[in-house]
Copies of this chain bind each other. A is one copy, B any other.
Amino acid sequence: MLTTIEVTGVNVATEIPLRVRGCCQPVAPRIPGPDAEECAAVFRALGDTTRLQMIHMLAKATEPVCVCDFTASFDLGQPTISHHLAKLRAAGLITSTRRGIWTFHQLNPAMSQAAREVVALLH
């Protein structure tokens, strides 16, 4: 175990680094570009408290949820809720179905495997 000292959020160690490879070398194979962007997009969609709560609500819900359920649950206007739902839809996390006057939302059954694994973490 190294003895370290906190300095502006960075630990200062007093020992010589054990370093095999040279410096300034790429370290490991990267995630393929498109995969990384798609994965980041899912994280970005969930990187907002409101949308995270929405996905959690949909994951818990036993029947489809309409927009007014969300507006009743969050202190936000209807256009803002609609905007968040559009973001979740664009990320492929939910699907929306209109039945008569109402539009119902649910987790996308055809969600990507990566997205499914992330959503599963939200119980």
Within 8 A of B (CB), among A83-113: 86, 89, 95-100, 102-104
A102/B17 contact (C-beta < 8 A), A53-B31, A73-B30, A96-B11 known: yes
Q: With a CB–CB cut-off of 8 A, which chain B residues contact A4?
A: 97
For residue A54, give the distance in angstroms from its CB to the closest CB of chain B: 10
Beta-carbon contact of A97 and B13 below 8 Å: yes
For residue A31, give the distance in angstroms from its CB to the closest CB of chain B: 5
Beta-carbon contact of A30 and B17 below 8 Å: no
A24 and B29 CA atoms in complex are apart in Å by 49
Q: A1-40, CB under 8 A of B: which get 1 and which 0?
A: 0101001011111011111110111111111010011011
Interface size class of A (residues with CB under 8 A): 35 or more
For residue A21, give the distance in angstroms from its CB to the closest CB of chain B: 8
Beta-carbon contact of A30 and B56 below 8 Å: yes
For residue A100, give the distance in angstroms from its CB to the closest CB of chain B: 7
Nearest to A114 among chain B residues (CB) is B121
